[in-house]
Structure 1
């Protein structure tokens, strides 16, 4: 095991985004929700209470959009064009929020890592928006953890077989999946903490 002094303390940030299409640029991120999911250092993992949250609805960046994709979030495009936060302002505010998380509740410095389920779609939009509108990301180029992959490794099953319905009993949060970005980020944070703390054996029934 690495020496304790060489471990990099990490703060996990559960992020959920809603978008109006499959890729950023031609399509837009329409909402962003995030909560603190937990801290990990030489003393182990500690889950957060999910109360530290961030949420913005964003103004679309293009004329192209998929009505079916937008319908998932329940957001109205006309309202977003009128009242949505400017993407650059939203990304600056999000970066400032994440930077504040670097100072943990114990006063120590933590490196932020984004958590998602599944992470690739949310990471794609989030990373693109952060680099496009702020010039960089507080998560760097690779500070991302996919809960689906984490579960597959813990359970010892192929990744392609993993879905929430196939997960071990007791891991799924007793929270609704509403497709509201902040609600889903909170649900995801609990799922992440449950999987992280799961030993992969004793609760696998």
Structure 2
């Protein structure tokens, strides 16, 4: 296709479903991160002389108008009889509970060659690789960003000289819907050293120090695990911290060093698990409070914004409190009049 990037022009293309309407409905689920699996009748591959999918294979997904909307990558492939397919798989199809999935697929297969409970089915899971121009508007209408609100603890002020000791993240939508948590304690890096001033402060925080140093694991193991967890969440993910210049800097450095990805999203050739430049809660709180810059600060927010969770310097406590703050700040943001611009405002 002429409007595809050169490296995608030789890929196989398809659309979900058997009608333009269904193609767009299922595509919307994919772009929203709610559909990460699909299934097909084994017989169709023989009838259409199509090769069976294999893990690692890329496909261009078309919208109902036949325009390329996104690229997906097959992750797993299994062959099962229809009656053997379990809710663990159908939930990933994103098309309702098991009963709704079964009813819809029985009708789909019946009108496309016939249905039987023991028919052979090819079950695939996949991940969204890249949005293409034709899918952008639908993506913006359907996707709900998940904010990965993160707090870190370290033995110094900068990752260039010291080590990150622990971190915790809460995955949450702007409306407060939660998608899980992640905690980790890291072994200090042998090529870094603790900062004396920071270590003197840690001596005043014995309980937080214990939480930040007990059960430590190699960051080379933890950071890829964290990246996989982020990527497994539905929809676009956005990093958030208070402030971004501290917690975000540490996480960006460690993700870059140990997982081949970054806190930032942009025109990078590496793996991208986050969208955009992230959210600085410190800045967001200061501006939405209507305060002058010198009066900004997370401590200036009411305890209700934190859900009355104390700031203990234990990563998960602080991440949970900041996640609550983010939801409250979005309430303030939604109450403001929207500001729109044109495509030519910024180049």
TM range, smaller chain = 0.7 to 0.9
Cα 1:138–1:124 shift into 2, 3 Å: closer
Q: How does 1:147-158 map to 2 (within 5 A)?
A: 147-158=281-292
Q: Residue in 1 aligned with 2:217?
A: 85
CA 1:115–1:138: 2 relative to 1, 3 Å:
closer
State which of 158, 169, 181 in structure 2 corresponds to 1:53.
181
For residues 30-52 of structure 1, give each alpha carbon's deviation from its aligned partner in whole angstroms, at most 9, with x where no partner exists: 001001121xxxxxx42124x71
Matched, 1:65 2:198: no
Contact 1:30 1:57 in 2 (8 A): yes
Are the aligned partners of 1:155 and 1:200 in contact in 2 as well (CA < 8 Å)? Answer: no
In structure 2, the partner of 1:41 is none
Higher relative contact order (CA 8 A, sep 6+): 1
Does residue 162 (structure 1) correspond to residue 287 (structure 2)? The answer is: no
Q: Could you tell me whether the CA contact under 8 Å between 2:151 and 2:168 is conserved in 1? A: yes
Match of 1:25 among 143, 146, 160: 160
Instruction: Quote the offset at 1:157 in angstroms.
Output: 2.2
Q: 1:16 & 1:159 partners in 2: Cα distance? A: 23
**Partner in structure 2 of residue 106 of structure 1:** none
In structure 1, the residue matched to 2:11 is none
CA-based RMSD: 2.8
Partner of 1:198: 332
Q: What displacement does 1:161 show?
A: 1.1
1:47 aligned counterpart, secondary structure: coil
Separation in 2, partners of 1:182, 1:166: 21
Is the contact made by 2:169 and 2:181 (CA closer than 8 Å) also made in structure 1? yes
Using a 3 Å threshold, how does the CA distance of structure 1 residues 5 and 183 change in structure 2: closer, same or farther?
same
Map 1:125-136 onto structure 2 (within 5 A).
125-136=250-261
Instruction: Indicate conservation of the 8 Å contact 2:147/2:239, yes or no.
Output: yes
TM value normalised by structure 2:
0.47
> Structure 1 residues 4 and 58, CA, compared in 2 at 3 Å: closer, same or farther?
same
Q: 1:151 Cα deviation (Å)?
A: 1.9
Q: Report 1:182-197 matches (<5 A).
A: 182-197=316-331
> How many aligned residue pairs are there?
183
Q: Could you tell me which runs of 5 or more consecutive residues in structure 2 were left unpaired when the two chains were aligned.
A: 1-135, 267-275, 337-347
Larger Rg belongs to? 2
What TM-score comes out, normalization by structure 1 length? 0.77
Mind listing any 5+ residue stretches in structure 1 that lack a counterpart?
39-44, 104-109
Residue 25 of structure 1 deviates from its aligned partner by 3.1
